[in-house]
Structure 1
């Protein structure tokens, strides 16, 4: 069973997934960050593939991606860093990146390398669902790489139902149509959106991302979904701690409690 499916079959609430950008703040820190996050009890990790034009990301992750590229991080290098990760790390690992670097690598080659490396899924924010269905789904299925689709408050019910029917793993619920970035709380409108999707009784579990940074936002996300994805807040803390992932995640876990 794919590790993503395994996670959600074993745990239905309060799942914490952490995003960080490979190659930031240091080129060689990827594996140490992953190990530290698993050690501290994180349930799933999203590893960002840096890209020069990350359109869905706010200033924190844009800055991280720019620094990572300047440090020399590439998709090929990332795979080489991860090639021996699986004997040491058990939790699901998901790559998150834009279509351009993946297409340059070759989509089938990418999925094959994911399978060989032990990557369980991929999030590609700029991959249209129609293109996924027509061109990429058979290849991803062949290599058991879960392609995680994003939905926003503007996504139609028809589209959400179709995503739920034709994908497997989890659905990434973007808390707003804006770019990524930490928020202090979720307003009534966002909470109504969370509840509306919960009331659809979808087949796939849901994770809420964009804006999760503290106890209030984490609890609101967990109340309406299987858990939350935290990116910008952790990337900021990782930068402040000069790449020390244990210190960064300790600070984040403290913020989620108080």
Structure 2
């Protein structure tokens, strides 16, 4: 697979990578590119843009609520693709689209890949895309457009499946910190640390980013001890709810992390 911004990032920076998640069309419909610009300026390493869906299974109440607001604002995949037109003239950090299969299939899977690649997207997280179907049907389409698919692993994922995911991955593996939904705080309990240590000890070829429950500098730094970086979502969505202007909210939140 040809290099994209994601694979280059992991070659150039080996640790303390900060991945910020936000929901497209939230808090306002046209905030998407503004937030992207400010995240790059404030020092994020990569960005995950959530495509709003009415039933976001893995997401906790904060992100679910942002999905609802974004949908009410009129956000859709088609609208997001339009917003991202020309974004690569202003933003260089890797962009991942995160969402669920139903709206993507309605849009058309190959058309989705083609349009995303055309606006400069680097990869996708689609948690409900079945592994076998990806391998048999969708992998060639993603590769055709130079896109990465990022898989999630949890404390319940078997070593055999983790190794299978590692073999099929081309950028990084999303290491879910616990079996809960997003927004649940990372704990320093023995079980979680044993899970982190076990996965780190597998000698995987792909970098690991830890997500779910990373909300501030201590939890970010703790996660970075066990992985190449961490993903912050719910805490950033809460920061966007503050009364200040959206650019200021982005800058203020990232200052608390770095």
TM-score tier by shorter-chain length is over 0.9
Residue correspondences, number:
256
Give a deviation string over 1:2-61, Cα, whole Å, max 9, x none: 000000000010000000000111000000000000000100000000000001000000
What is aligned with 2:28? Answer: 26
SS in 2 for 1:86: helix
Deviation per CA, 1:202-246: give whole Å up to 9, x if none: 010010000001222111210011000000000011012466143
CA contact (8 A) 1:150 1:172 kept: yes
Out of 41, 60, 64, the residue aligned to residue 62 of structure 2 is 60
Offset of 1:129 from its aligned partner?
A: 1.2
| Structure-1 separation of matches of 2:72 and 2:12 | 40
Inter-partner Cα distance in structure 1 for 2:206 and 2:233: 22
1:24-173 counterparts in 2 under 5 A? 24-173=26-175
Shift of 1:249: 3.9
Q: Give structure 1 stretches of 5+ with no counterpart.
A: none
Contact 1:172–1:207 (Cα < 8 Å) also in 2: yes
Q: CA deviation at 1:120?
A: 0.2
Task: Find the counterpart in structure 1 of residue 194 from structure 2.
Answer: 192
The 1:106/1:224 distance shift into structure 2, 3 A limit, reads same
TM-score w.r.t. structure 2 length? Answer: 0.96
Structure 2, unmatched stretches of 5+, are none
Cα separation, 2, equivalents of 1:16 and 1:213: 11
Q: TM-score, normalised by structure 1?
A: 0.96
The 3-state SS of whatever aligns with 2:210 is strand
Alpha-carbon separation, structure 2, partners of 1:202 and 1:103: 31
| Cα offset, 1:70, TM superposition | 0.4
Give 4+ residue runs of structure 1 displaced > 6 Å after superposition.
none
For the aligned residue pairs, the C-alpha RMSD in angstroms reads: 1.3
Tell me the equivalent position of 2:215. 213
Corresponding position of 1:236: 238
User: Does structure 1 retain, via aligned residues, the 8 Å contact 2:37–2:91?
Assistant: yes
Q: Provide the secondary structure at the position in 2 that maps to 1:207.
A: strand
Which whole-Å CA distance do the structure 2 matches of 1:73 and 1:134 have between them? 31
Shift of 1:191: 1.3
